[in-house]
Amino acid sequence: MTERDEGRRLTRRGLRISGLGLAGLAAVYLVALRYTPVERFQGLPQKIFYLHVPAAWSALLAFSLVGIAGALYLWLRDPRLDLFAESIAEAGLVFSCVMLTTGPLWGKPVWGTWWTWDARLTLTLMLFFLFLGYRVLRGAIQEPGERARFSAVVGILGMVLVPFVHLSVYLFRTLHPQPIVLKPSEPSLPWEMLRTLLLSVGVYTVLLIGFVTTRYGLGRAAEAEGERDVR
């Protein structure tokens, strides 16, 4: 099979996975609105939770993978790792946009403010800027080897920066709900809500895999046709 066919095959597979993810997203809407109880204090706006939190997790996952792929690239020098990092950074940028639009929509009715400089909000905004910087840097370098090395280093530095931003902003002040699922004691979320959240996290992960596979396949096909830039 030629490189181009391989790229096209991956693109088709990615589109199928994304389609599955979108169908799953419709199911999440149905389950969240129809089969999950309304939260007593926040009312209906709390439903955004099921879209907002998984988006944040996907963005954070994507960002960690950009850093890890960057480190592996500097070690193994396989151009496919660079293409993978590029693909996942683009998907991550999309998820951080979802996170940054659903967040204020939830914050306004519940906290009474669109935006606050709380630890996790600031962190996610920084993630968005790091993704954006990564994307812009890639666009500004012509030579593929140089582009791969430079963006790998930015990915690694950004991955290490994230915990520092979180720590310093957390100590600065915080208003966000305390962790309710991943915490040492038992999750304090009722089972019906946790079920919906986990479903949504699964669906978002499928979407992430679908987007990345599509983008990666497109990159491979474009590379085979001699035009590295699919932008």
Chain residues in the site for another protein (CB under 8 A): 74, 122, 126, 129-130, 132-133, 136-137, 140-141, 146, 149-150, 152-154, 156-158, 160-161, 164-165, 167-169, 171-172
| Residue 76 or 182 having the CB closest to another protein | 76
| Residue in this structure with the two tokens 């600031």, named with its chain if needed | 122
| Residue 109 or 133 having the CB closest to another protein | 133
Q: How far is the CB of 37 from another protein (least distance, A)?
A: 39
Q: How far is the CB of 130 from another protein (least distance, A)?
A: 6
| Residue 133 or 190 having the CB closest to another protein | 133
| Residue 130 or 218 having the CB closest to another protein | 130
Q: How far is the CB of 82 from another protein (least distance, A)?
A: 13
Backbone φ and ψ for 39, nearest 5 degrees, come out as -65, 140
Q: Which residues are CB-neighbours of 1 under 8 A, at least 6 positions away?
A: 9
DSSP 111-137: HS-S----HHHHHHHHHHHHHHHHHHH
Q: How far is the CB of 215 from another protein (least distance, A)?
A: 22
